[in-house]
Amino acid sequence: MIYIACGAIMLVIGLLWLISPAKRQIPFYGYHSYLAQVNKNSFKFAQKRAGLNFIAFGLIQLLLGIGIHLFKWDRYFLLWLLTFYLFIIFPIMATEKALKSYLQNRHELPADYIDPDKVKRERTKGFRDRK
């Protein structure tokens, strides 16, 4: 049931973002990230792409939840509880990757942007890591 509830909520959020996207950056509505705030075009692209991704992953999660319920696999609730959050993370990851490639193709990627996948830390003595 958690897959059905979370999938339905994500589907509704995605539909809201597509039907009525955020016109400007307000903290409680719309998709916000560092790359989405680069310029107006990137903000519009992020709103549209995030809406589509939330619809797609919400629909997948909703159908998966219906399948779990139909096959009577509800008794594995702990497994579903430990994995449902992945469907919340995947659309955010997909949106960020699409936004990064969009900005790279337009040569608008900020100079101070650090790709999180390429950050390597070196161990040092003490309590903090050096970048």
- Segment 84-129, tens digit of pLDDT: 889 999 999 999 999 999 999 999 988 888 887 777 777 666 666 5
Q: How far is CA 26 from CA 14, 44, 98, in A?
A: 17, 13, 22
pTM value > 0.75: yes
CA–CA dist 13, 62 (Å, integer):
13
pLDDT at residue 27 above 60? yes
pLDDT at residue 61 above 60? yes
Q: How far is CA 64 from CA 67, 73, 97, 106, in A?
A: 5, 11, 25, 37
Non-local CB neighbours of 28 within 8 Å, separated by 6+ positions = none
Cα dihedral value 19, 20, 24, 30, nearest 10: -80
What pLDDT is attached to residue 71? 92
Q: How confident is the model at residue 25 (pLDDT cuts 50, 70, 90)?
A: confident
Helix or strand or coil: residue 107?
Answer: coil
Residues β-bridged to residue 78: none
Query: For 108, which DSSP code?
Result: -
